[in-house]
């Protein structure tokens, strides 16, 4: 990959290199069907700042940690969430992922306490109970789509921990709706308002999926109101905080704002963990030596009992497996931003209204930061190695003021659920073909992750 551009104190350029498409409509990585491969190729060919045009939209791909730090942290006020997220407002509304300014700050402060470490640790017994219940139904020797199972498990955990309700009977409907919404984001047409409003079959499917999610979330809100705004166990969970929150004028959140926040947090609260565990299972099945190290640690640390909060500091290799999986298969593989002011990145100027993207898939596989970047090597994640990395060479949960509010929740849940699974089972691939990553809003395994389980003694 090219070396980073040298800074210049006298010249600021606006003509960053990049691919050229037809003069009328330009070019898009989605035109080629394999956006992961295309973006990697463009980054290697043109450097750390790549520019292209899609119709009237100017887009910049940034692949150096220093430039990503500028956008996400030091000059974050010059950028808002990008067009990809804005194109999904029908689903996410004005929730935490898409809102800006004072509304975002207010909602962030309201939601943040639910994800503090001490609160997340209080969720651990329920997480373990649900994981034990689900894995108890898995059959050894029978191929299993582990991704589908984990999506159901983490959805139930998110609903119960954050909202104090069960969605077990609606889990299949949520999964089907989410599949439809994610598939829609493989089309570049969703970036344009006119294309989203056309009465196409795809747009109708998208709207039906949104309505299905709304029905489930509104039912969840109504159930809590009928219970007196408190969770069934009397705890002050996230939904209680949202329902009881008042602004400076004493007004509570509207049903629409409640809907936006609940859909955003319900989807984001389970998708990341399910994906990292699905990809971890795939990588472990391909690397039996790493899996054996995992089993050895779990046997030594747990000694036959289920994992709990006191075990977390000692599950060192288990956490490294999760971190390395997040490096190779980051659930958030692409982060979009939109420039609201001109911004200089070393020798290049990003103009107002330009789209800016950076890809964890590209940066996490850059040999400048990671030796043998394509290899699954959890042992690389020593404290010394992590400290020596540039700040934004590894950013699976984003960074800056808008870093993922649930990062701690996702890490703790992923480590403990992986420990439960690996304590009981040895994992082997049920199909010989490689699992292809499907780059939608998240990085999903195309066709699932089919695993054959063998029960450990």
Q: Is 342 exposed, middle or buried (0-12, 13-18, 19+ CB in 10 A)?
A: middle
What are the residues whose beta carbons fall under 8 Å from the beta carbon of 275, sequence distance 6 or more?
147, 329, 331, 442, 443, 444, 445
Compute the distance between CA of residue 248 and CA of residue 407 in angstroms, rounded to an integer: 29
Sign for the CA dihedral angle at 420, 319, 160, 123 comes to: positive
Q: What integer pLDDT is reported at residue 188 of this predicted model? A: 64
Q: What integer pLDDT is reported at residue 8 of this predicted model? A: 42
Q: What integer pLDDT is reported at residue 15 of this predicted model? A: 82
Compute the distance between CA of residue 66 and CA of residue 218 in angstroms, rounded to an integer: 43
Q: What integer pLDDT is reported at residue 185 of this predicted model? A: 67
**CATH code for the part of the protein at 29-455:** 1.10.630.10
Long-range contacts of 60-64 (CB under 8 A, 24+ apart): 60/16, 60/348, 60/350, 60/354, 60/355, 60/356, 60/357, 61/18, 61/357, 61/358, 61/359, 62/345, 62/356, 62/357, 62/358, 63/1, 63/358, 63/359, 63/362, 63/363, 63/366, 64/4, 64/5
Q: What integer pLDDT is reported at residue 168 of this predicted model? A: 81
Compute the distance between CA of residue 264 and CA of residue 104 in angstroms, rounded to an integer: 13
Is residue 62 within 8 A of residue 43, CB to CB? The reply is no
User: How many other CB atoms are there within 10 angstroms of residue 237's CB atom?
Assistant: 22
Q: What integer pLDDT is reported at residue 5 of this predicted model? A: 46
3-state secondary structure of 454: strand
3-state secondary structure of 161: helix
Q: What integer pLDDT is reported at residue 145 of this predicted model? A: 97
Q: What is the mean pLDDT of each run of 10 residues along the chain (457 residues)?
A: 47 84 82 85 95 90 97 95 74 84 88 89 94 94 95 92 84 84 70 72 86 88 74 65 77 85 86 96 98 98 95 98 98 94 91 95 97 98 97 96 93 97 97 93 94 94
User: How many other CB atoms are there within 10 angstroms of residue 208's CB atom?
Assistant: 11
Kindly report the CA angle at 402 between 398 and 404, in degrees rounded to 5? 55
Residue ranges of domains in the chain: 29-455
pTM of the model: 0.91
């Amino acid at each position: 990959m090219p070396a980073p551009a040298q800074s210049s104190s006298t010249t600021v350029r606006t003509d960053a290199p990049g691919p050229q498409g037809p003069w009328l409509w330009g070019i898009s990585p989605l035109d080629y069907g394999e956006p992961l491969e295309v973006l990697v190729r463009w980054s290697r060919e043109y450097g750390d700042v790549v520019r292209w045009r899609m119709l009237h939209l100017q887009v910049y791909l940034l692949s150096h940690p220093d430039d990503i730090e500028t956008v996400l942290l030091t000059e974050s006020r010059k950028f808002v969430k990008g067009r990809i997220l804005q194109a999904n407002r029908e689903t996410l509304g004005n929730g935490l992922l898409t809102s800006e300014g004072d509304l975002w700050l207010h909602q962030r402060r309201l939601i943040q306490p639910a994800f503090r470490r001490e609160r997340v640790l209080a969720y651990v017994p329920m997480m373990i109970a649900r994981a034990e219940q689900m894995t108890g139904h898995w059959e050894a020797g029978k191929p299993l789509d582990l991704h589908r199972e984990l999506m159901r498990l983490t959805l139930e955990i998110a609903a119960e921990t954050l909202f104090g309700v069960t969605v077990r009977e609606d889990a299949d409907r949520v999964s089907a709706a989410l599949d439809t919404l994610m598939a829609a984001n493989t089309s570049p047409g969703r970036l344009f308002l006119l294309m989203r409003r056309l009465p196409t079959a795809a747009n109708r499917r998208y709207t039906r999926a949104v309505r299905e999610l709304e029905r489930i979330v509104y039912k969840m809100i109504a159930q809590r109101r009928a219970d007196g705004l408190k969770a069934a166990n009397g705890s002050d969970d996230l939904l209680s905080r949202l329902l009881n929150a008042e602004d400076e004028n004493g007004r509570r959140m509207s049903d629409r704002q409640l809907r936006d926040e609940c859909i955003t947090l319900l989807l984001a609260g389970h998708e990341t963990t399910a994906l990292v565990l699905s990809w971890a299972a795939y990588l472990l099945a391909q690397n039996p030596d790493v899996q054996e190290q995992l089993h050895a640690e779990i046997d030594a640390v747990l000694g036959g009992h289920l994992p709990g909060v006191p075990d977390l500091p000692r599950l060192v290799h288990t956490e490294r497996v999760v971190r390395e999986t997040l490096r190779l298969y980051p659930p958030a593989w692409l982060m979009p931003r939109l420039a609201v002011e001109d911004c200089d990145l070393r020798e290049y100027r990003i103009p107002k209204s330009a789209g800016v993207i950076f890809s964890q898939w590209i940066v996490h596989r850059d040999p400048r930061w990671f030796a043998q970047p394509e290899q699954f090597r959890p042992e690389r994640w020593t404290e010394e190695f992590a400290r020596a990395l540039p700040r934004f060479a590894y950013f699976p949960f984003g960074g800056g003021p808008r870093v993922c509010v649930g990062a701690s929740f996702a890490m703790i849940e992923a480590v403990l659920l992986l420990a439960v699974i690996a304590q009981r089972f040895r994992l082997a691939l049920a199909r010989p073909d490689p699992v292809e990553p499907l780059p939608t809003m998240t990085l999903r395994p195309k066709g699932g992750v089919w695993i054959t389980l063998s029960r450990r003694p």
